[in-house]
Amino acid sequence: MDRLSNTVRPYAWGSTTAIPGLLGTEPTGEPQAEMWMGAHPGAPSRLDRGPLDDVIAVDPVRELGGRVAGRFGPRLPFLLKILAAGAPLSLQVHPDLAQAREGYAAEERARIPVDAPHRNYRDGNHKPELICALTPFEGLCGFRPPLASAELLAGLDVDSLKPYVDLLGAHPEDAALREVLTAVLTAGREEMAETVAEAAAAASRLGGPYAPYADIARHYPGDPGVIAAMLLHHIRLQPGEALFLGAGVPHAYLGGMGVEIMANSDNVLRCGLTPKHMDVPELLRVVRFEPAEPAVLRPEASPAGEEVYDTPADEFRLSRLLVARDAAPHDLTVPAPQILLCTEGRITLSGTETETETETETGTGSGSGSGSATAPAGELILGPGESVFVPAGEKVEISGTGGLAGTLFRATVPD
């Protein structure tokens, strides 16, 4: 097993304190939004052996196992993150696999540079994802029934919103949602900015169920995504609860910290709450205009004490282990690659590798690690925010450390 040194991404919406608090480091005053653990070429984790994507490329079968390498190719099929939102993220959707492959191929044929700000598809993969709350967590997910959205918008008593209220009640659900989202995103910029300002003032005055939208508008004044957000369910997760997001489902995270896992992709189509590029025609092609109540996931306990978050994703499986004080060793060896992440306490990992004292950095754009961790030959101690990569089939056991309990998240590929 290999201790990981991970990159922290400084996106503007990131919390300035949550990730430093987890890692036990001093805040820099700059936003620290996401800590990436995996082999995505945009920010691969680093091992003593080199960047994880390069290590896998040298011997995919050894690192991933024959089954995973055969199915997904010479790349780790998932990306694990700590996400810490101090402000709302962009309102967005992800394509399904066929849409991603088609869109990526079209942009490649058009010779659009992969890092161009107006490019939609950075790769040819889909991006199902799961977010598991570490703290109270707020978000938007999935369309409300149109009549429920009509009632919410009508309650603001803003004249320029009345045409949307009428549209939501005049058509079948899918057509109504499509018409209103299209109208919101294609309205004149000045006209929409005025509508958003009036809606935000009303939401602030009314409070209650309108309060989240007033806060969104405070971060994104004049943004049409504020009105689009009112078409979606507002959700609150408690620590340990999770939400799975499939293709075409509009969503945005509003605040809180969680463990996020997804297929190894960076394909995002935005529909508001962002200064970044929005391709409205392509977005409308990808969105699934279906009302859907968000399904909050709670972990399902297995006989071994491992709590599994069950999803339909082929690329990843996330589970949580609450390791008791001085717990007996528990074998986690599987014929698939794993990333193990400690989020609380101290946990001992026992394997076949020898781990010696390490020195790593933590901070924006830099690695995170133990700073100074020692363990006997074949053992490694993880503290909060620390993680390891375990190649397929390599023996690894976990146990409690020094009378301290711990929480471990385990990311791997399902059978």
What CATH number corresponds to the domain at position 86?
A: 2.60.120.10
Query: Helices 211-219 and 189-206 meet at what angle, rounded to 10?
Result: 140
Q: What is the pLDDT of residue 365?
A: 45
Stretches where the chain sits below pLDDT 50 are 353-367, 369-377
The answer to whether residue 269 sits within a structural domain is: yes
The answer to whether residue 181 sits within a structural domain is: yes
Together in a domain, 135 and 161:
no
Span 171-223, pLDDT tens digits: 889 999 999 999 999 999 999 999 999 999 999 999 999 999 999 999 999 99
Together in a domain, 99 and 244:
yes
The answer to whether residue 4 sits within a structural domain is: no
Q: Which of 267, 297, 327 is the last residue of a domain?
A: 297
Together in a domain, 354 and 246:
no
Together in a domain, 109 and 240:
yes
Q: What is the pLDDT of residue 405?
A: 78
Q: What is the pLDDT of residue 357?
A: 33
The angle subtended at Cα 138 by Cα 133 and Cα 140, nearest 5°, is 115
Q: What's the CA gap between 227 and 235, in Å, rounded?
A: 17
The answer to whether residue 224 sits within a structural domain is: no
The answer to whether residue 99 sits within a structural domain is: yes
Together in a domain, 125 and 259:
yes
Together in a domain, 380 and 311:
yes
Name the catalytic one among 122, 270, 317, 320.
270
9 is catalytic: no
Together in a domain, 55 and 124:
yes
Together in a domain, 120 and 170:
no
Together in a domain, 344 and 195:
no
Give the domain extent around 164.
148-211
**Tokens read off for 196:** 């958003």
Backbone phi and psi for residue 149, each to the nearest 5 degrees, phi listed first: -65, -40
Q: Could you tell me which residues are beta bridge partners of residue 22? A: none
Together in a domain, 261 and 128:
yes
The answer to whether residue 2 sits within a structural domain is: no
The answer to whether residue 340 sits within a structural domain is: yes
Together in a domain, 162 and 26:
no
Together in a domain, 253 and 130:
yes
The answer to whether residue 221 sits within a structural domain is: no
Span 261-314, pLDDT tens digits: 999 988 999 999 998 889 999 999 999 999 999 989 998 776 567 899 999 999
Q: What is the pLDDT of residue 339?
A: 98
- How many domains is the chain partitioned into structurally? 3
pTM: 0.90
Q: Which of 297, 324, 346 is the last residue of a domain?
A: 297
